Structures are given as structure tokens and as C-alpha cells.
Amino acid sequence: MITFRRIAFATLAAPLALSLAACGSEEAQTGEIAATEPVEEVAAPQGQAWTDVVTVTPEDGYLLGNPDAPIKVVEYASLTCPACAAFAGNGAEQLKEEYVSSGRVSFELRNQVHNGIDLVLAALVRCGEDQTFHPLSAEVWANLNELMNGAQANPQALQAAMELPEEQRFFAVAEAANLVDFFAARGLSVDQQRTCLANVDEVTAIAERSDTQSSELGIEGTPTFLVNGNKVDSNSWAGLEPVLQRAGAR
């Protein structure tokens, strides 16, 4: 089981290369996506759009769209993963606008934690209302180079943060990694961030769920997509969209 004490900051010592390869060790094993007849669109509740509806799932994923959609997309993603950032910039909006909005497809985002900064980011994107999780994650990926450069700029401060008592440690890491001002500019006050990151049980539970789910489902790299429980043999929108259409989203 992963705990914060075991997540090394040593991985942040070298500059982060923006590679589009999956962030992990192995290719995901794939399952068969059965071809089906086209699925009918499902109307959103009156006065709402499906792209505004967010449900937190038992797996602590943030599901966007119709929770009863017949085609369910799950993405395991790391907030420090360049390939995840690439999908966020070149696929996520198309998925939402063209498929989630129809009520036929839901999009659930789950965190796979790769390092200590990743864990703090995963806690911070959860710190506001449920509806801010997807937008804040998108902001992180859109600014990934800048954020990682800032996080790597002061390794001594990160090490000092790790020596603090646990209830102070996560916020100190966020400060040392220059994350506090970034999130404050996007609607999370400093006091909100401090309160969220002082909740040691909640923060470490994110890492523990990541470890457990990755082991149970064989998630070895990010982004990994599942469509109706089957892994997709692609980490890009070009590979994911045909699978959705085969599953009936056409």
C-alpha cells in the first residue's frame, strides 16, 4: 500500500521531458469492445447540460455526464504525466462536447499517483466543489511545463517540507513547489488549500486508492482508458474515438 512517506521526491530532481509516450512501464492489456447498434441520445435534466453534471463514484473518480450512460469511459491519469496533458489538450474537449453532452457517454477521471507532487496536486483539484475537479485538472495539464519547472526549482525546500509533522507537510510541499499561488488564482483560497492539505487521512487515501485500483485492474501507465470495463489499446483521442463509435456512440 502506498503512503505519502513512500512517494519519493527524487523523481522530480531531473527536468520533466514532455514525451507523448504513456507515463508508465507497460502497455495496457486490452479487452474486446463489442460492436453494437447506435445508442440513442439521452436528454439532460431540465435546465442542465450533461457536461455540467458531476458525480463522485465509489472509486473516488469524478464522473462527468449522465451517470447512467450506456457507454462509460474511465481514464486513469496522472497530473504530472505529459501524455495525460496531451490528451487533455487534444481529446478531452471533443469527448465532452461531442459525446458526453449527448448523454450516451460518461467520462470518469481517476487519479493514478506517480510521485509526491502528483499526490498534492490530486488533493488540491479535489479541494473545491465537485464541479471544479475536471476544470482544475485541465488547468494543471495546460500549464504542466510551468508547474513542473516551478516544482523542481527548489529541492531543498521540498526536502525541508518532508521533515515537518504530517499535518503541516502537504501544504509545505505545495508552497515549496509553487502550487499555492497557482490554485489561489483559480479560485482556491490559501486557507482552503491549507485546510484540505492538513487532512492527512484524506490525502493519503488518494494514494492508497491509486495503488489498490492500479493493482486490481492492472493499470500500469497513464493515460489508460477503459470503455465499459475494457482497456483501450491507445492513449490518444485518435485511438479512443473509434472505440466509442464501435460501442454505439454514433
- pLDDT attached to residue 21: 53
Whether 187 is in a domain gets the answer: yes
Asked if residue 89 is part of any domain, the answer here is yes
Lowest mean pLDDT among 33-37, 72-76, 129-133, 162-166: 33-37
pLDDT in tens, 209-237: 999 999 999 999 999 999 999 999 999 99
Residue 12 lies in a domain: no
Which pLDDT does position 25 carry in this prediction?
Answer: 47
Q: Is residue 14 part of a domain?
A: no
Range of the domain at 236: 24-246
Residue 107 domain flag: yes
pLDDT band, very low/low/confident/very high, at 9 (cuts 50, 70, 90): very low
CATH code: domain of residue 171: 3.40.30.10
Render pLDDT for 111-148 as a digit per residue (tens, 0 to 9): 999 999 999 999 999 999 999 999 999 999 999 999 99
What pLDDT does residue 132 have?
A: 98
| CA-based nearest residue to 52, from 164, 133, 166 | 133
Evaluate whether residue 7 is within a structural domain.
Answer: no
Q: What is the total count of domains within the chain? A: 1
Is the residue at 68 inside a domain? yes
Residue 9 lies in a domain: no
Q: How far apart are CA 66 and CA 53, in angstroms?
A: 7
**Amino acid symbol at 224:** T
> What is the rounded average pLDDT of the residues 104-114?
97
pLDDT bracket for residue 174 (50, 70, 90): very high
